[in-house]
Amino acid sequence: MSLPWVADRIPTTVVHLDVAGAGRPSEAVLAAEIAHLRAEAEVGGYVAQGHAESAVDGGRAALGARVGLTGDDVCFLDGAGTAFATLLAAWPLPRGARIGTVPSEYGANARALRRLASERGWQLAALPVDDLGRITDLPADLDLVTFPQVASQRGIAQPVEEVFAAGVPLLLDVAQSLGQVEVPPGCAAYVGTSRKWLCGPRGVGFAIVDPVVQAALVEPPTLAPTHGSGMRRWEAQEAHIAGRVGLAVAAQEWTPDLLPEVHRLTSRLRSLLSGMAGWQVREPVDEPTGITTLRGGDPVATRMGLLADGFVTSAVPTSRSDDLTGPVLRVSTAAWVEDGELERFARALARRTQ
In order of their start, the domains of the chain are 4-24+256-353 (3.90.1150.10), 27-253 (3.40.640.10)
Residue 66 — very low, low, confident or very high, per pLDDT cuts 50/70/90?
very high
Q: What is the pLDDT of residue 1?
A: 58
DSSP states of 226-279: SS-SGGGGGS-SSS-HHHHHHHHHHHHH--GGGHHHHHHHHHHHHHHHTT-TT-
Looking at residue 227, its pLDDT comes to: 63
Residue 103 confidence class, pLDDT cut points 50, 70, 90: very high
Does the pLDDT of residue 72 top 80, yes or no? yes
- Give the pLDDT of residue 237: 84
Q: Identify the three-state secondary structure at position 198.
A: coil
Q: Is the pLDDT of residue 176 over 90?
A: yes
- Length of the chain (residues): 354
Give the range among 218-227, 286-295, 326-335, 344-353 with minimum mean pLDDT: 218-227
Whether residue 234 has pLDDT greater than 80: yes
- Predicted TM-score (pTM) of the model is 0.96
Residue 291 burial by Cβ neighbours in a 10 Å radius (0-12, 13-18, 19+): buried
pLDDT tens for 9-49 read 999 999 999 999 999 999 999 999 999 999 999 999 999 99
Task: Report d(CA 163, CA 139) in Å as an integer.
Answer: 11
pLDDT > 70: what percent of the chain? 97
For residues 248, 191, 158 and 16, what is the CA-based torsion angle, rounded to 10 degrees? 50
Compute the distance between CA of residue 292 and CA of residue 330 in angstroms, rounded to an integer: 6
Mean pLDDT of 81-92: 96
The answer to whether residue 269 scores a pLDDT higher than 80 is: yes
pLDDT above 90 covers a percentage of the chain that reads 91
Please state, rounded to an integer, the average pLDDT across all residues of the chain: 95
Q: What is the rounded CA–CA span in Å between residue 150 and residue 338?
A: 23
* Amino acid identity, position 266: T
With CA atoms as reference, report the closest residue to 180 among 163, 158, 201: 158
Tell me the pLDDT band of 349, cut-offs 50, 70 and 90: very high
